[in-house]
Chains A and B, each alone.
Chain A
Amino acid sequence: AQKITQTQPGMFVQEKEAVTLDCTYDTSDPSYGLFWYKQPSSGEMIFLIYQGSYDQQNATEGRYSLNFQKARKSANLVISASQLGDSAMYFCAMRGIIQGAQKLVFGQGTRLTINP
């Protein structure tokens, strides 16, 4: 079975600071993908970044980077220079390639609030 754990129910950060959102995972699948999604108050799910389990380098997308530590089974999201518009729920998710049947398994999410 696959499991995603996000231990921070809420985070409060000052604007322009960097923030790290924690995510740990558990899977027996030898190959998998890790995703981060943003869900603003409007409810839409916005794809942010993807990391493949065999990728040699950490993924980056603009201000978003993924700190992937395979041995520790962690995939933390780092947002640099936070902005007020970053306030939202953030979900970590994984998809197994073999056993995961192609479905995304989500964590419980972290509510990020950026203070001016």
Chain B
Amino acid sequence: GAGVSQSPSNKVTEKGKDVELRCDPISGHTALYWYRQSLGQGLEFLIYFQGNSAPDKSGLPSDRFSAERTGGSVSTLTIQRTQQEDSAVYLCASSLSRTGRNYGYTFGSGTRLTVV
């Protein structure tokens, strides 16, 4: 597609439930990133996928968080046993290969997750 697509745009879930957030990157972009943005805060890095390389999971806050990227395209971020502190906007971004002087990151519109 023309841009990075994320779904759902909004998700309200009960504490303790599992949720899945989806990201469909720009076609041809080999790198995909997940960030979390709490209300009024900056963006917190969660995980990064580059081609077929092992993902950089260094930003995942706990083992309740996991992500996968199938076929080098669509990615799913899964949060198990959600807690209220997981409430945030989850942003996905994609970019071209790591080589290159100025490869732009294109962000999706985000998924607003509310845990009640």
Interface residues of A (CB under 8 A from B): 33, 35, 42-45, 47, 50, 52, 91, 93, 101-109
Contact = CB atoms under 8 A, between A and B. Distances in A.
A101 B102 contact: no
B91 A101 contact: no
Q: Is the interface of B mostly helix, strand, loop or mixed?
A: strand
A102 B102 contact: no
Interface residues of B, number: 25
B109 A103 contact: no
B112 to A, nearest CB: 8
A50 to B, nearest CB: 5
Nearest to B3: A44
Nearest to A6: B42
A34 to B, nearest CB: 11
Interface in B31-53: 31, 33, 35, 41-45, 48, 50
Given A52-B101, A106-B43, 19 more contacts: A35-B105, A42-B109, A43-B89, A43-B110, A44-B107, A45-B93, A45-B105, A47-B105, A47-B106, A50-B102, A50-B104, A93-B43, A104-B45, A104-B105, A105-B45, A106-B45, A108-B41, A108-B42, A109-B41
Nearest to B107: A45
Contacts of B48: 101-103
Contacts of B91: 45
B98 interface: yes
B18 interface: no
A108 B104 CA distance: 20
A75 B8 CA distance: 35
B56 interface: yes
B42 A106 contact: yes
Q: Which of B35, B91, B102 has the most CB of A within 10 A?
A: B102
B61 to A, nearest CB: 15
Contacts of A33: 102
B107 A103 contact: no
A107 B44 CA distance: 9
Contact of B109 (A43, A101, A109): A43
Contacts of B35: 106
